[in-house]
Structure 1
Amino acid sequence: MTEPVITDQRAIFDRREIASRIEALVEEYGDASRQPVVELLKQALDRGRGEMERRLEAHPSAGHAVAGGYSFLVDQLVRVIHEYVTQHTYPNPNRSAGERLAVMAVGGYGRSEMAPYSDVDIAFLVGERRNAWCEQVVEAILYLMWDLGLKIGHSTRTLDEAIRLAKDDLTIRTALLEGRYVWGDRSLYDEGEQRYTSEVVRGSEQAFLTQKLEERNARHKRMGDSRYVVEPNVKDGKGGLRDLQTLYWIGKFIHRVSSASELVDAGLMTDAEYRSFRRAERFLLAVRCHMHILTGRTEDRLTFDLQRQVAERMNYADRPGKSAVERFMQFYFMQAKRVGSLTGVFLAHIEDDLAQRSARKGFFAGFKPKPRMVKGCRVFGGRIAAPSDDWFAKDPVRLIEIFQIAEAEGLEIHPETMRQANRDSKLIDQAVREDPRANAIFLDLLCGRNDPEMVLRWMNEAGVFGRFVPDFGRVNAQMQFDMYHHYTVDEHTIRAIGLLNKIEKGELKHDHPRASRLIHKVGSRRVAYVAALLHDIAKGRGGDHSVLGAEVAEELCPRFGLSESETELVAWLVLNHLLMSHTAQKRDLTDPKTIEDYVAQVQSIERLRHLAILTAVDIRAVGPGTWNSWKGQLLGELYDASSERLRLGHMRQGRKEKVAAKKAQVADVLEEKAALVEEFGTVLDDAYWIAEPVDIVALNLVHYADARAQEHQLSVHCEFYDARGATLVTVIAADHPGLFYRIAGGIHLAGGNIIDARIHTTRSGWALDNFLVQDPHGAPFREEQQLERLKKSIADALANRIDLTPRLAQRPLPHSRSKAFDVSPRVLFDNKASNRFTVIEVNARDRPALLNRLARVLFESRLVVHSAHITNYGERAVDTFYVTDLTGDKLAEGERRNRLEARLAEAAGDAMQARLEDA
């Protein structure tokens, strides 16, 4: 875009020296000189690359200089190759008017923005018509470049063809727009540039803008449609290099600028914006160059494993509460955010400019509609704007107010006003933060009924949000370095507020029916919105973010204007915002002690309602696919059981009454097969009847009756279970030690992930085990062949037809990138969480068949597993087991428990996985 300054060019490629050595090789080898020339150029290319790598190592952020250096290296190669081919391979001293050839750099090469393994995009421009000499030269140049191992994108066109195609094809039009002369016939290139301006550009500016923006929006959608995805695409992602290039393309096409710096002269950017444009571009180019060098290939996705390595290469260091990689990625997202802000302002100028051009020519030339005024702001064409350049300076509270008006009135903020707000955000000082009017306005915006999510995002991009709420500013662009969270902390928080707004408006009734009801029953809707804002506010501070966040809430809520009771409730919600999801996903909800302990912490219906709403939006705002019907069902069960306990002061029914009620419900479901309840009612103990839902009991009884009638020693039933978004796998077999871990192994071998397991033994010695299973992407198995594969794999595992251990070790993790994270195994024992069982919780890196390995250790330690609950947080798995010893007692503290802890940690650890893979 702006020609980079390449220092000490001969250290990269000394063209004069290489040309003279080629002449010597031609003299020595004659017609057989091609191979020695290729070897010479290979050495020169390797030396040039090595020099650029050294420069990047010495100056890790010098994106422009390094990208320009690689382009210079290719330029020099192309030039010596062109001279070699035209002078020695196909010399033609008396060329006709048609035998003209110009070599153009296009694409990233044309912009002088090449990473080490970027494609070399070349356009060959020929004279009046195609001819044999031009074709021979082009072919010879390409073959030499291919022999050097370069990836070439190329085209050969006459001038007429190039102009005709550019009119019809956006890609070709863009390629020629940034075409750069490299070598050959300069007058032919200049003629093409002149014809491009007069025949392609003139009159098609509006069409080009529209097509480019459509292309950009489609690209963003493919890449996740957020600049805050935690594994961003540096080139094509939102806020990446392609967005900067799009600005330049549009500016160059419409204003015919030749470099990005001329965008300032055209009035499309201020000097400060141009500097931030270049700063973001320099950083992104440097990151991309580091990624190419690390991977040895064209790599544009900044994956978790690369993030650590690039952060190290760019000299980022750990700081208290924030690792080097998190600091690096926070800076990355700050640059992506800046690109977004620049884009908004830039496009507004372009649109205004084109509109003015059109108005000057049109029927209504000279007519200007009058804007309306809203609280002193100008509103025109659906946009709100500050009436003067010093409007915010006169009263900085207006920096908050203009966003609140935009939300209340359903308006966009004019990009010029966004630019002003960004410039003047520094006017927000402690006096403004403590101003009751400013805080009341902010609270109205936060709890807005139209679209607070969008407006808060604008407020964040303008830098106003972080200045007014400095604690929020601290998590701005802060990455959460794990595979569970898809977005930065600020983006996750703003999305959670948006989801809360949609739930309140009834737009998510299907997915969140309970939260959609509860939001209209809570005593204070302000509490719900402020809790959503503050639940992750203290992330990255080096301590428990829930505890630290509750302290922040106690300070901020009175400032916002919340009452003492509202403040207490928000602080409690922030402190306990993970309580409901952890209880629902990691504990046995049929164990009365689970509900007792949960209710003891919640203590009131109002807290319970708010926590249910906050939990739903928090999980869903993590990213696509993190909310599913299984989690919804678990949270619903916990809410209903704890709500009943809170309202009545006890559970509505005792154990005996619950079992009788469940049997009656099952009989109703079974209809003509209701007699099965009577027949097998006493074979299955009370724990089974309490633990399993009515619909699963009904299915189990039919399967159990069939298995007994046919005297099957093993019966495996698999079916898609819509209510939980999973596949229900029921195994009926003669009970024997090790049954659970073998079933788990069989399910894993079939490609299944177990998300819940309930293990039962009938009074007649049969095991009846229910598993809920999903594929590695969180979807159920539902195709017939998938269900058959599950059945066969379980049957083979139980019949010892396969050796589970080596087969399981060979299965790849669905998230192989999990190796980029440090997850040390942690084993927790809890004898207070259940009256009957010891609860064992194992936290570890997710890996193939983790559940199988842990279950095997429990079996070999002579423990009985009664239920298992499996939760995944990206790269981290939490497996919870409810166990007793063989006599039905809990596992007491002592040497046996210490040994078990060590064995479980070893089974979950990296060293064990490595040994299994080696075996």
Structure 2
Amino acid sequence: MSTFRIPRQRAIFDRRDVAARIDALVEEHGEKARPHIVELLKGALEKGRAELARRLEEKHSAGHECAGGHSFLVDQLLRVIHDHATTHLYPSANRSQAERLTIMAVGGYGRSEMAPHSDVDIAFLVGGKKTAWCEQVVEAMLYLMWDLGLKVGHSTRTLDEAMRLSKNDLTIRTALLEGRYVWGDQALYDEGSRRYTSEVVRGNERTFVTEKLAERNARHKRMGDSRYVVEPNVKDGKGGLRDLHTLYWIGKFIHRVRAAAELVDVGLFTQAEYRSFRRAENFLLAVRCHLHVLTGRAEDRLTFDMQRQIAERMNFAERPGKSSVERFMQLYFLHAKRVGSLTGVFLAHIDEQFEAKSARSGFFAGWKQKARTVKGYRVFGGKIAAPSDDWFRKDPVRLIEIFQIAEEQQLEVHPETMRQADRDSGLIDRAVRNDERANALFLDLLCGRNDPEMVLRWMNETGVFGKFVPDFGKVNAQMQFDMYHHYTVDEHTIRAIGLLNKIEKGELADDHPRATRLIHKVISRRVAYVAALLHDIAKGRGGDHSELGAEVAHELCPRFGLSDSETELVAWLVLHHLLMSHTAQKRDLTDPKTIEDFVGKVQSQERLRHLAILTAVDIRAVGPGTWNSWKGQLLGELYDTASERLRLGHMREGRDRKIAAKKAEVAELLGDKADLAESVGGAMGDSYWIAEPVDIIALNLVHYAAAREQKHDLSIHCEFYEERGATLVTVIAADHPGLFYRIAGGIHLAGGNIIDARIHTTRQGWALDNFLVQDPHGGAFAEEGQLERLKTSIEDALANRVDLAPRLAQRPLAHSRARAFDVSPRVLFDNKASNRFTVIEVNARDRPALLNRLARVLFESRLVVHSAHVTNYGERAADTFYITDLTGHKLEQGERMNRIEARLIEAASDATQDRLENA
């Protein structure tokens, strides 16, 4: 496909010189020349690759030049090898008509797009039948290429075989479509090309397009089905090189174009679209070439560690609020987005060309579906179109209106109109942005009841969204360089709006029953949608994105037409959009002060309803698997407790009533063992009854009664706990210092990841500790063997049968990719978050047994851990401990606190992990 002219070709490979030196080696060594020839060719290949690598480093974005250069290098090498095979090894002065051979480049090599470690895909075409001479030459060439370390994909076929196979096999059909003459019998290649057009292409155009698009859709599904995944595949991912290839293949098959530039001549692209096609292709090829050079292999996944290195190689600099890697990836996603919009326009044109052809022939010749008119727009075949080329120029507000109508009437925007909107998006100026009608239309679209997500995505692809809401334009294609966020900021935001729409329609009632109820109780649904739009709007600006986002909300909401009270509520939600998830996941919800502080910030039922809805869609829109039943349960518990407090006010007797109600529920659950609620439950403190859900209390009481009856010093119970999507591990033992860190170590050794821990001591001095445990991939231990392993591992740790520290250090980190990120450990002490405890929060890189190491420091510092809460955000872990000293008092500021902080930071640091691993 590349039409790039390679500069200074002889510096890459001087074919004349290499051929002359081969002649000389054959003359000097005769039949023993082979090893010398291999050495010569190896040297020439390495020299060529080194020259191309040097050029890539020098001109870091020269994708076409690098890919074309590698194809040129292989071309020259093949020509020399072919000439050596046919001149020195198997000369044939009087070849028969059958003894004809041509070498054809196929695949990426055929397009002249080779990354440094790409396969060399070649097709040997022979005349009427495969003769001994042809087979000898092909074999000699292949052995030489293998000796040079080339990874060769090859086939040898007669013309008849090639034509027959390509009719039945899409892969072969595509490979031959890209076939490029390299060397050998030119007339044979030309004959094959003619026959391919007449026998394979003619009459099969529509079938080829259908099959290629089905193949593309299957590939997208395999790769995550979004062009905004944060570790994209440059070649096969959505918006990647393969999507550009698909356009070229379809254009070439239908119109027989020889180069991508000809797609303009046949009306599939405008000149401007073709230029952006080439820019995207050049950038993606450059990234792929850098990937191959850095990894030393054919690697196409743009992983986090590679992103950082390639950003450096491609000279991206830091900017305020944006790292070099985030700037590099933003450009990557902008190109991927462009590939997506080009694909839409291109395929629509193909459709129209097929329709036009059908309309000119057959039964429906001369018949055309009549368009209807909606507010001046043409609507036909489920698509809405601008009636004239100057439609948006006459009134730029129509750039918003067309998308609003499309959402309201469930129409697609015609691709030609998408192209017009893209071209005319620059007409959106301050006057349009402040236009009352334009803002009313935009708000109607945003809060649309059909599918605002899809239409906002179209609006984003044309650039209209970013022009109308410039703050949104700033986060367009912006990635967040971490392992928690799966999508770019704009994609995450649009997905959040789509989830809100699904919740409102009741489509996610199973996962989000509370949000499904609450969305119909809020006073203003517009607030919910605008808050979803603006919650991350200020990311990448430097500073706290919640605070900056609230300022943006104060500016934008009145413009959109929201009232003063709605504006205040949206700004509050943006400012506090992380409050509920952080409180639920990082604080002890049984501590009255946690609820008091939370309610003190929320202050009203309306705010609480909106915050619960926004929190649910925000977490879920982060990516697959980030929402789970455990998070749902924690958020639900916080919502219910806060709602009750807001409704009833601060009432101490509410606590006693709550415990009494829970005891009654537990007694009912226990059935014929109902008396345990009082007899055994009386040994548990109030905090236990508030902390634990009724079903866990029922399990605990039965377990505790049995352990005491049998006078067991240690009793461990493990079972799959479906409600939380985790495994419940309950340990009953005589309470002693260090118990917590040893249990945690045993769980980690068995491969468990602790997601929550509740630590209790009965009035008789027995520890009753509940842990929720998942495997490293977020699943539960459910098999009998896994549960037994957990139990044995905890027993060994508590009995001192294993030396925990070195054994834990040997366990591999579940997410080794976390090494690509700089996560400096941070320790926060908070004496205001609880009336009884000091709250210590440790933020650090996630690693094996982090909880165990931190808990050990607390034990050695003579502190008592009363509860622990574990949260993971991709590569980052946030572990929170509620502690007192041995006398039951809070930890006061001073030298001791400083020493503990230093020890916790050391325990959480990379240097400590490296030292333990190498010990």
Deviations 1:361-384 (A, max 9, x none): 221111122100000000010000
Question: Does residue 153 of structure 1 match 2:153?
Answer: yes
Identical-residue share of aligned pairs (%): 81
Q: Which amino acid aligns with 1:92?
A: S
Partner of 2:476: 476
How far apart are residue 328 of structure 1 and its match?
Answer: 0.6
Show the counterpart of 1:827.
827
2:803 matched to 1:803?
yes
Q: Write the deviation string for residues 668-709 of structure 1: whole angstroms up to 9, x where unpaired.
A: 111011222233123222222221111111111111122222
* 1:653 to partner: Cα distance: 4.2
Matches within 5 A, 1:495-574: 495-574=495-574
Shift of 1:292: 0.6
- Counterpart amino acid of 1:44? A
Structure 2: which amino acid aligns with 1:767? A
What's 1:903 paired with? 903
**1:883 offset after TM fit, Å?**
0.6
2: CA distance between counterparts of 1:801 and 1:85?
70
Residues 67-94 of structure 1: CA deviation (Å, up to 9, x unaligned): 0000001111111111112222222222
Contact 1:645 1:652 in 2 (8 A): no
Q: Distance in 1 between matches of 2:797 and 2:42?
A: 56
Paired position in structure 1 for 2:257? 257
| Residue matched to 1:165 | 165
Q: Deviations over 1:280-310 (max 9, x none)?
A: 0000000000011111111111111111110
Question: C-alpha distance in 1, partners of 2:820/2:895?
Answer: 35
Q: Assess if the C-alpha contact under 8 Å between 1:644 and 1:652 holds in 2.
A: no
Q: Which residue of 1 aligns with 2:382?
A: 382
Partners of 1:316 and 1:479 lie apart in 2 by 15
Map residues 262-341 of structure 1 onto 2, 5 A cutoff. Answer: 262-341=262-341
Match of 1:699 in 2: 699
Encode CA deviations 1:573-612: one digit per residue, 9 max, x unaligned: 0000000000000000011111000000000000000000
Is this contact kept in 2: 1:105–1:179, CA < 8 A? yes
Matched-pair contact (CA < 8 Å) for 1:839–1:880:
yes
Equivalent in the alignment of 2:233: 233
CA 1:131–1:792 in 2, change beyond 3 Å: closer, same or farther?
Answer: farther
Q: Secondary structure at the match of 1:33?
A: helix
Corresponding residue number in structure 2 for 1:840: 840
Between the aligned partners of 2:406 and 2:694, the Cα distance in structure 1 is 50
Task: Note if 1:191 corresponds to 2:199.
Answer: no
Match of 1:452 in 2: 452
- Report how many residues are paired: 919
Aligned amino acid, residue 361 of structure 2: K
Q: Within 5 A, what are the aligned runs for 1:324-403?
A: 324-403=324-403
Q: Which amino acid aligns with 1:215?
A: E
Structure 2 distance, partners of 1:46, 1:378, is 60
Residue equivalent to 2:725: 725
**What residue identity is the alignment partner of 1:135?**
E
Runs of 4+ in 1 over 6 A off after TM superposition: none
Determine the C-alpha separation between the residues in 2 that align with 1:663 and 1:864.
28
Supply the distance in 1 between the matched residues of 2:711 and 2:142 (Cα, whole angstroms): 74
Q: Show the counterpart of 1:420.
A: 420
Whether the 8 Å CA contact 2:359–2:368 is kept in 1: the answer is no
The residue type paired with residue 3 of structure 1 is T
Give 1:651 deviation, angstroms.
Answer: 4.8
- Tell me which residue corresponds to 2:174: 174
Higher mean displacement: 429-438 or 32-41 = 32-41
TM-superposed CA distance for 1:652, in Å, is 7.8
Q: Contact (CA 8 Å) 1:433, 1:439: kept in 2 or not? A: yes
Q: Cα deviation per residue 1:475-494 (whole Å; 9 max; x = unaligned)?
A: 01111111100000000000
Show the 5 A alignment for 1:670-685.
670-685=670-685
Is 2:748 aligned against 1:748? yes
| Shift of residue 712, structure 1, vs aligned partner | 2.3
Match of 1:868 in 2: 868
Matches of 1:714 and 1:143 in 2, distance apart?
69
Conserved? CA contact 1:755–1:871, under 8 Å: yes
Return the letter of the residue paired with 1:415: P
Distance 1:651 1:115, change over 3 A: farther
Is the CA contact (8 Å cut-off) linking 1:775 and 1:781 kept in structure 2? Answer: yes
| Structure 2 counterparts to residues 6-85 of structure 1, below 5 A | 6-85=6-85
| SS of residue paired to 2:650 | coil
Residue 763 of structure 1, CA deviation: 2.3
SS in 1 for 2:841: strand
Task: Write the distance in 2 (CA, Å) between the matches of 1:749 and 1:88.
Answer: 65
Q: How many angstroms apart in 1 are the aligned matches of 2:225 and 2:367?
A: 38
**Residues 681 and 701, structure 2, Cα contact 8 Å, conserved in 1:** no
1:101 counterpart residue number: 101
**Matched-pair contact (CA < 8 Å) for 1:404–1:442:** yes
Map 1:635-714; keep pairs closer than 5 Å: 635-651=635-651, 653-714=653-714
Q: Deviations over 1:441-462 (max 9, x none)?
A: 0000000000000000000000
The answer to whether the Cα contact below 8 Å between 2:2 and 2:113 also exists between their aligned partners in 1 is no
Question: What residue in structure 2 maps to residue 613 of structure 1?
Answer: 613
Contact 1:644-1:650 within 8 A present in 2 as well:
no
What letter matches 1:513 in structure 2? P
Alignment of 1:575-654 (within 5 A): 575-651=575-651, 653-654=653-654
* Partner Cα separation in structure 2 for residue 406 and residue 64 of structure 1: 39
User: Counterpart amino acid of 2:17?
Assistant: E
Amino acid paired to 1:431: A
Greater shift in the superposed pair: 213-222 or 737-746: 737-746
1:115 aligned partner: 115
Q: Measure, in 2, the Cα distance between the counterparts of 1:292 and 1:123.
A: 24
Q: Are the equivalent residues in 1 in contact too, given 2:2–2:64 (CA < 8 A)?
A: no
1:794: how far off?
1.2
Aligned match of 1:410:
410
Q: Offset of 1:158 from its aligned partner?
A: 1.1
118-127 vs 583-592, greater mean Cα deviation: 118-127
3-state DSSP class of the match of 1:361? Answer: coil
User: Structure 1-normalised TM-score?
Assistant: 0.99
Taking the aligned partners of 1:814 and 1:653, their CA distance within structure 2 comes to 46
- Indicate whether 1:437 and 2:427 are aligned: no
- Distance in 2 separating the partners of 1:90 and 1:312: 50
Cα distance per residue 1:535-571 (max 9 Å; x no partner): 0000011110000000000000000000000000000
Gap runs ≥5 in structure 2:
none
Q: Would the aligned equivalents of 1:684 and 1:763 in 2 still touch at CA under 8 Å?
A: yes
Give the counterpart letter for 2:178 in structure 1.
E
Which amino acid in 2 is paired with 1:182? V
For 1:38, the aligned partner's letter is: V
Secondary structure at the residue paired with 1:872? Answer: strand
Task: Return the alpha-carbon distance in structure 1 between the equivalents of residues 125 and 576 of structure 2.
Answer: 67
SS at match of 1:124: strand
Deviations 1:184-220 (A, max 9, x none): 1111111111100000000000000000000111111
- The superposition leaves residues 842-889 of structure 1 with CA deviations (integer Å, 9 ceiling, x where unpaired) of 000111111111001001001111110000011110000001111111
Q: Counterparts of 1:182-221 in structure 2 under 5 Å?
A: 182-221=182-221
The reply on whether 1:126 has 2:119 as its aligned counterpart is no
CA distance in structure 2 between the aligned counterparts of 1:174 and 1:656, rounded to whole angstroms: 74
Deviation, structure 1 residue 663 = 2.0
Partners of 2:741 and 2:522 in 1: CA distance: 45
1:682 partner SS: helix
State the Cα distance separating 1:110 from its structure 2 match.
0.5
Q: Deviations over 1:233-278 (max 9, x none)?
A: 1000110000000000000000000000000000100000000000
Q: CA deviation at 1:359?
A: 1.7
